[in-house]
Structure 1
Amino acid sequence: MTGSGTDKTKPRTELDGPVVVLVEPQLGENIGMCARAMGNFGLTRLRIVNPRDGWPNIAAQRAAAGADHILDKVELFDTVEAAVADCSLLFATTARAHDQAKPVVGPEEAARQIIGETAASGTAAIMFGRERYGLQNDEVALANRIVTFPVNPGFASLNLAQAVLLMGYEWFKLATSNALPFAMPERSERASNHQMQAFFDNLVSELDKVEFLRPPEKRETMLVNLRNIFTRMEPTKQDMHTLHGVVMAIAEGRKGPAKGGVLNGTEATRLRALLAEHSEGRAPSESSTVRGLARLLRRNPTDAERMLWDSLRTDRRFASQFKRQTPVGRHIPDFVSFTKRIAIEIVNANENETIERDRAVRREWLEARGYRVCRLNAIDIEADLDGQLNKLATSVTA
């Protein structure tokens, strides 16, 4: 179980960074919070000069919030001179001008110089003063540079851990080339034109039902404006599925499904193509996103589907045997008889390769589980319904 922002399964990043020197810190809690700030930004070397409350310090361990690997390696010194004796580049942090002829830099420039020094095999260090009054003049005199922060001059005092964190952040940012620890991946590729068109057709159909696109002379202008809203968004396939669901939820209302309309073959083919495309690369957690499209197909049967469904319910050869748009596993054939183990697929004109692949996968899955799949062409149902029913009856009694 990971903590808030901390994943203990990942290795710590520990780079060759500067030494942090705390001069006579007064509170163990502040030492612990400094160690925590160091851990946030890959710093590991901590030196302490005469901590007021002694060492080790239980308050420091509590405040470190898991940065024990830093506290366990703390180096203690009696004097500042001893703590910085081996440093080839020393920065003194202060919010006050000490009237010393010494270069003054900001944290970003200090970080840049530290990286250059460590790259040349030198030892860089950053010195932080006491919580109450900071560094004394003779301690600042030991430093090569003064580093100060661009803060409000009327309220310039920083907490000790805050100062350590700011320096650690600037150094780590440069040392890692400002690389972020993670990025939000694109969960879906950009929606295709026919996906956009299918959604837009659905939206316009629902708007027409509530007479939104009026007066008639402004209809075309309103449609152009609506279309531009969605094209400017550059939506993904996932966005399109979500928007389809939103439109259908609004259309259905809180009192349950509407009676629905009738899709023509082209509209049904578009919706089936969207479902097929989504199912090809669908992760298990995404299964709910197709509900809006599947519900749209269920609520709005094509003429051929409506004709066949009416006959299946009234013809004695099939009465009470078939269900419409009912899931079988993860697949939803147009009609299915669980008792007869038969699935019916209505094939619309001009179906593309994506739909054909989806049908083939569904057929293979169903046949592997003992179902027979009967394909009926929509155009044949509309032209000769009785003939198609006789064909189906033969399959049922086979």
Structure 2
Amino acid sequence: MSGTDKTKTGFEFSGPVVILVEPQLGENIGMAARAMGNFALSRLRIVNPRDGWPNVAAQRAAAGADYILDGVELFDTVEQAVADCALLFATTARAHDQAKPVVGPDVAATEMVSQIKAGGMVGILFGRERSGLLNEEVGLANRIITFPVNPGFASLNLAQAVLLVGYEWFKLSTAGALPFAMPERSEPASQHQIQAFFDNLVRELDKVEFLRPAEKRDTMLVNLRNIFTRMDPTKQDMHTLHGVVMAIAEGRKGPAKGGVLDGEQATRLRALLAEHGQGATSSEGGSTVRGLARLLRRNPTDAERILWQSLTRDRRFAGLFKRQTPVGRHIPDFVSFVHRIAVELTNPNETEVIMKDRVERRRWLEARDYRVLDIATADVERDLEAELERLQQLLPA
């Protein structure tokens, strides 16, 4: 599981020593070290590793637990590795027919904590990947640790065994404290707030005739109310749900997320913009122009949407153009302030008011060193690439 927060300080405990007996693969040593790091175990001893030491494969598999590998102690025999241990555990999935206590990792962890608090050294033996610990090696231990696993498939990977023991020890040492908890919720919603939301919800449902047939209306209302009372909503929950209902009721908002205007609707909106743009005072006209610009952004025509997607995705134009942005009191369909280029989409059957406004806009823009390119909406839908090539010719080489 990923998610290590590098800004947090880890625990440092005087924990038990992990002793790997003749491990065969460097990858298993590295993964065992990673498991140790998960549970604040830092002391690793290795008895006669098959592929020698240091081991590049172990470092690769350690996934950041290099500090554990850097501190590895090497021994030639198990007897040497456990000589200073006051309490020694041997992990095994087989009985070995030895008369000594057999405990699970949770019970073993309790004994480890007690022994370490008393100042004693605790060691945990882990055997070879293929054959585990020998009888003589288990005979050195005070206790046997075995795991409650499927008896028909009891063999664990070396790192898995280290992880299970480390988990139980760490959980006991930290009193089971979790690294994070659910963020604090906002205050519980009041009955008044829930009722206000519910009234609004019912009002909108009535508009679409959801609560029918009439004879089932009361039952449906009770069932709906129970959905929200069961969830023990907070004030923030109610604000969010209210916003959801209103967004559904009023339609989508925001740049390039609105509806798609057909040609007739686009023509009417253009005419409205042209009429308001003429003869208005600067403050009055500016406010109207900005409002209409927002409306145009939220409700593009098919041709505008197609061309805008190309201008944002094509490397030749990416980042150069803005859509429906006021330049003074005028709103070109697309404008590049960097290269002073304005693109005007022309619709079929435009009114005289729109054409007159377009001529005035072109004159105003050209007087300020803007180059204006007219593109017919039909040409966008018929041969978009040809129109893009025309536009590219206006860009500096």
- Same fold by TM (over 0.5)? yes
By how many angstroms is 1:95 displaced? 0.6
By how many angstroms is 1:322 displaced? 8.4
Matches within 5 A, 1:183-332: 183-253=181-251
By how many angstroms is 1:225 displaced? 2.5
Distance in 1 between the 2:55 and 2:143 partners? 31
By how many angstroms is 1:134 displaced? 0.4
In the alignment, is residue 51 of structure 1 matched against residue 46 of structure 2?
no
Distance in 2 between the 1:224 and 1:58 partners? 66
Distance in 1 between the 2:212 and 2:4 partners? 55
Q: Which deviates more from structure 2 when the two are superposed, residues 172-181 or residues 234-243?
A: 234-243
Match of 1:179 in 2: 177
Which of residues 17, 20, 26 in structure 1 aligns to 2:24?
26
By how many angstroms is 1:145 displaced? 0.5
In structure 1, runs of 5+ residues without a counterpart are 258-287, 289-317, 327-398
- SS in structure 2 of the partner of residue 6 of structure 1: coil
In the alignment, is residue 76 of structure 1 matched against residue 111 of structure 2?
no
Distance in 1 between the 2:161 and 2:235 partners? 46
Distance in 1 between the 2:135 and 2:286 partners? 95
By how many angstroms is 1:250 displaced? 2.7
Match of 2:128 in 1: 130
Distance in 2 between the 1:203 and 1:184 partners? 29
By how many angstroms is 1:14 displaced? 1.7
Matched to 1:221, the amino acid is T
TM-score under structure 2 normalisation?
0.62
By how many angstroms is 1:319 displaced? 8.4
Matched to 1:196, the amino acid is I
Distance in 1 between the 2:83 and 2:231 partners? 60
In structure 2, runs of 5+ residues without a counterpart are 255-282, 292-397
Matches within 5 A, 1:368-383: none
Match of 1:120 in 2: 118
Matches within 5 A, 1:375-394: none
Distance in 1 between the 2:128 and 2:219 partners? 69
Change (3 A) 1:121 1:320: same
Distance in 2 between the 1:113 and 1:140 partners? 18
Deviations 1:288-343 (A, max 9, x none): 9xxxxxxxxxxxxxxxxxxxxxxxxxxxxx988989xx9xxxxxxxxxxxxxxxxx
Matched to 2:135, the amino acid is N
TM-score under structure 1 normalisation?
0.62
Matched to 1:229, the amino acid is I
Percent identity over the alignment is 79
Q: Which deviates more from structure 2 when the two are superposed, residues 121-130 or residues 187-196?
A: 187-196
Change (3 A) 1:224 1:322: farther
Matched to 1:84, the amino acid is V
Match of 1:168 in 2: 166
Deviations 1:115-170 (A, max 9, x none): 11111111111100011100000000000001001111111111111110111011
Q: Which deviates more from structure 2 when the two are superposed, residues 104-113 or residues 221-230?
A: 221-230
By how many angstroms is 1:98 displaced? 0.2
By how many angstroms is 1:99 displaced? 0.4
